[in-house]
Structure 1
Amino acid sequence: MSDSDFHTIEAKGVKATLDLRGGHVRVFATEQGGRTIEPLHSAPWLNDKTIVDDETIDANLRLLSGDFFCAPFSTNDIDPVTLHGWPANSPWTLLGVEAHPEGGQTARYELVKRVQGATLVKELTVRDGHPFLYERHIFSGGEGDLPVANHAMTRFDGGGRLSFSPKLFGTTPETAIESDPAKGRSLLAYPARFTDLTKAPRADGGTADLTTYPFGSKHEDFLSLVEDPANPFGWAAAVRPDKRDIFLTLKNPADFPITMMWFSNGGRDYTPWNGRHIGVLGLEEGRTYAGYGHKASIAPNPWSEQGIPTSLHLDPSGDVEVRNVIGGVALPEGWTRVASVEAGAGELVLVDEAGGSVTVPYDAKFLTRGA
């Protein structure tokens, strides 16, 4: 690892650093109220050379940090590419940095590999005073369909509360992600479908409250939440009282109709996890058929037959893009859970379940393509 492996962009009160070796956002930090908020998670083995230099381990796992783009999301069972595809596992090169006309910076990076023949560009923007990282991924050319997702992660050293824009339902896959007790453990029931996030079925016959972290210990679980198509604006909020912050993911549901939750709380005992990946939550915004992989996402499936997009169609003669936003906001005194998030023209308004509100600068046009 060297300084040339990373690239940083900055604006007043915010900065982001990209790990060019695998396209992971290693650092996202904002300055608010005289302190630094850093809501993203990095794996505990990133300074362990025996792990990071071991090329028998997928790069997306060796370099696991912050937020990264997956194309295809999950298993690539069509082309011989590792989990989450080249965007999360191979180098990116800096194309250039431009000043934002309203203050800040925009950087563009190109993936060295091609994705189904497409050139992929990652565009990251930070704005003066905005506690957000604006992310855009543009495919130029290429052919076919593929599932895509952003893979953002935060960590709870203490407990926390979770809330979301309205969902149609939640579901777990056919099989637990850790079904071999010699390797790890999962607590939820697989498969399961539910509409009450406070009562997700557990394998032991009980229920789990998915709005509270943690809902158990020493477990690895994965589920998907399907966005209500009536929502013009999708969001997820993770309140971390001990860090005095709120981690946010924001999206246009037309881009990403699925929110995936990955509970990684000491439930894997093998290398490099070794029971030490604790308190981690992935809030992953996707266009995919859960975690079933490339083939299942592009084939007719129960979700796509309901009109829920589970893949992105590439344009051989043009560009196709998806956008998302991640952020970190200072937690107001006394707040327990975010009840609503609303986007105005130049601001984002968060409301607590007790009725208090806080407003922060935000570019609403980014997700609406300027509409």
Structure 2
Amino acid sequence: MDAVTITAKGISVSVDLAVGHLADMAVDIDGHRLKPLHRAPWVGEPRETLPKDLPEGTVHLSGDFLCAPFSISDVEEAPLHGWPANSRWEVVDSAATADGWRAVFRLQRPVMGATVDKILTLRDDHSFLYQEHVFSGGSGAIPVAHHPMTVMKTGGRLAFSPKRLAATPNEPPEPDPARGRSLLAYPARCPARPRVTAPPRRPIARPGYRMAQLREAFVTLVEADHGGPGWTALARQAEADLVLVLKNPAELPVTMLWVSNGGRDYAPWSGRHRGVLGIEDGRTAVGHAASLGDNWLKHESVATAFALSEGRSFSFRHVIGALPWPSGEPPRDVTTSPGRMRILAADGAVRDIAFDSDFLRIGQSRPD
């Protein structure tokens, strides 16, 4: 694999330059080494053993990657999830800072005429990767999403910042029973309860990941107006840790959950992609054309794309981290204060850790 690794005290991240995926992430804390990100079991297998028409992003499927657009590229021709997830990135700059490491990567293909940069920052003794994507120039509009994936041996439990709506798309992830199986009802929509995906009944979801259900599932959660960072917390049971994913809701107003647990029988999935959860924060509907058109999220006053224009740039930020968390129960709340993150556990205990609270710029003006 053509990869580059950046490190700071207690944390390292590797980038697969062929496709810009985060190939690995390790957090060393309190005597534990935590590996919050997933890598597909076929990554590294001989290319000739995989389907010939498989997108490079699926060949290299790992960690987190930028989707631009999210899902189908039906405005500008590109593979699934766009060129940022399927083509080469180059290192523009990579150097130690006063308190960690900062690296800049550039996509070698334009997206709707725009130049795309990926900026990764690690800070000493922080359990988080801070990342930013910058689009410069171009024309038209582009939907975007992050695509972090984690994996569980025996399942886990979820909690969220407040959401106001949960919905499944019109079509299930696997509509053909000869090829795979889907979980949940499609389409479906319901109000979301605070800090869980939805009422604890079908058709939307439950806040636990059940390993016995060999299915694929997809649900979109719309952030409520709560004035803080958007967050998803997954307490992985066997791994005894807490995976945290954070965003600025003004930039990325939806969180899409992808459950992939042995529900696809065709290659390269072949029933072996199990225990995987995608926590996909975005500004998007499903597909480029759908994001630009009259979609259901726009009817909920939710933005589904960023505007591009020559001489102008925009950026959005995202955070991924992990902590030891032996209880197996997700937190009640996650809040930030200057330089810190406070996590309220289910039993009322409080965990206070180092966090760059300015990074997500909550409440500050960001470009549309």
- Classify the TM-score, shorter chain: over 0.9
d(CA) in 2 for partners of 1:251, 1:216: 31
Aligned counterparts, 1:216-255, within 5 A? 217-255=213-251
Give the structure 1 partner of residue 153 of structure 2: 157
Give the structure 1 partner of residue 309 of structure 2: 315
d(CA) in 2 for partners of 1:11, 1:215: 34
Aligned counterparts, 1:57-206, within 5 A? 57-101=54-98, 103-196=99-192, 197-199=197-199, 202=202
1:262 matched to 2:258? The reply is yes
Secondary structure at 1:243's aligned position in 2? Answer: coil
Shift of 1:301: 2.5
Is residue 249–residue 326 contact of structure 1 (8 Å, CA) maintained in 2? Answer: yes
TM-score, structure 1 as length reference? 0.93
Is residue 39–residue 247 contact of structure 1 (8 Å, CA) maintained in 2? Answer: yes
Is residue 10–residue 126 contact of structure 2 (8 Å, CA) maintained in 1? Answer: yes
d(CA) in 1 for partners of 2:160, 2:29: 24
Deviations 1:62-84 (A, max 9, x none): 00000000001111111221110
Q: Which amino acid letter does the alignment assign opposite residue 84 of structure 2?
A: P
Count of equivalent residues: 360
Q: Which amino acid letter does the alignment assign opposite residue 130 of structure 1?
A: H
Secondary structure at 1:144's aligned position in 2? Answer: strand
Equivalent residue in structure 1 for 2:36, among 39, 47, 61: 39
Gaps of 5+ in 1: none
Give the structure 1 partner of residue 291 of structure 2: 297
Equivalent residue in structure 1 for 2:318, among 324, 328, 331: 324
Q: CA RMSD for the aligned pairs? A: 1.8
Gaps of 5+ in 2: none
Secondary structure at 1:142's aligned position in 2? Answer: strand
Shift of 1:300: 3.0
Deviations 1:271-295 (A, max 9, x none): 1000000010000000012x2x111
Identity across aligned pairs (percent)? Answer: 42
d(CA) in 2 for partners of 1:256, 1:8: 27
d(CA) in 2 for partners of 1:100, 1:46: 32
Secondary structure at 1:61's aligned position in 2? Answer: helix
d(CA) in 1 for partners of 2:201, 2:143: 27
Shift of 1:53: 7.0
d(CA) in 2 for partners of 1:23, 1:307: 32
Q: Which amino acid letter does the alignment assign opposite residue 307 of structure 2?
A: H
Equivalent residue in structure 2 for 1:354, among 343, 347, 351: 347
d(CA) in 2 for partners of 1:311, 1:322: 12
Deviations 1:250-278 (A, max 9, x none): 00001100000000000000010000000
**Structure 1 residues 108 and 41 mapped into 2: Cα distance closer, same or farther (>3 Å)?**
same
Q: Which amino acid letter does the alignment assign opposite residue 28 of structure 1?
A: M
Secondary structure at 1:296's aligned position in 2? Answer: helix
**Structure 1 residues 130 and 308 mapped into 2: Cα distance closer, same or farther (>3 Å)?**
same
Equivalent residue in structure 2 for 1:368, among 329, 345, 361: 361
Shift of 1:100: 2.5
d(CA) in 2 for partners of 1:68, 1:261: 15
**Structure 1 residues 66 and 52 mapped into 2: Cα distance closer, same or farther (>3 Å)?**
farther
Equivalent residue in structure 2 for 1:342, among 335, 338, 342: 335
Shift of 1:210: 2.3
Structure 1 ranges of 4+ moved more than 6 A: none
Deviates more, 1:347-356 or 1:15-24: 347-356
TM-score, structure 2 as length reference? 0.94
**Structure 1 residues 146 and 273 mapped into 2: Cα distance closer, same or farther (>3 Å)?**
same
Is residue 172–residue 182 contact of structure 2 (8 Å, CA) maintained in 1? Answer: yes
d(CA) in 1 for partners of 2:49, 2:108: 20
**Structure 1 residues 113 and 151 mapped into 2: Cα distance closer, same or farther (>3 Å)?**
same
**Structure 1 residues 119 and 52 mapped into 2: Cα distance closer, same or farther (>3 Å)?**
farther
